[in-house]
Copies of this chain bind each other. A is one copy, B any other.
């Protein structure tokens, strides 16, 4: 794991320690529990530095947490953009988006686990930061939906409601995915299939909703 540690006195970790701390925290979240249950000392120990070195990079643990959160969402937003700009016919779009998304979840397991455990169990600061981010995704999805000619007669509030329905479900399925073992490929496939079905069902419902509203 650790590379050349021949000289144990001073190693020129030029700014690497910061990343080592973040990585250590993420690792510990995977196998120990929520971030809030980690101690400064065990993080530094895992990172291979002395406790006091922590303060050279973060004022306290909660700062580390927020940095981790930022890192998680930065790349997530990037992937979302990628999903969004994939222009596909509606039928393929659902399946395609879900595939990209869940592949991303698989490849970034640690970050998602970190966020998942903080969503309801974290400090108020963390929770509201995550919720804000999710609300942002929801709004963006609603805006995307508004561009569909299929949906152009639905008011903004209902669009928001529909987007929330989608986001809530994908979130729940993500948690379900994270509970699975990494090797459980069939389980992962099942979640993907369920996701696709559920979204298609919602899609059907939206269609009916439109005609229902229009006929009033």
- Secondary structure of the A contact surface, majority rule: helix
Contact of B119 with A120 in the complex, beta carbons under 8 Å: yes
CA distance A203 to B36 in the complex (A): 40
Contact of A121 with B33 in the complex, beta carbons under 8 Å: yes
Contact of B36 with A120 in the complex, beta carbons under 8 Å: no
CA distance A120 to B201 in the complex (A): 27
**Interface membership of chain A positions 127-164, coded 1 if the CB is closer than 8 angstroms to chain B and 0 otherwise:** 10001000000000000000000000000001001101
A168's partner among B33, B158, B168 (CB-CB below 8 A) is: B168
**Interface membership of chain A positions 177-200, coded 1 if the CB is closer than 8 angstroms to chain B and 0 otherwise:** 001000000000000001001100
**Extra A-B contacts (11), CB below 8 Å, given A33-B121, A121-B121, A204-B205:** A33-B36, A116-B120, A161-B197, A161-B198, A165-B198, A168-B169, A172-B172, A201-B202, A201-B206, A201-B208, A204-B207
What is the interface of chain A, defined by CB distance below 8 A to chain B?
33-34, 36-37, 116-123, 127, 131, 158, 161-162, 164-165, 168-169, 171-173, 175, 179, 194, 197-198, 201-209, 212
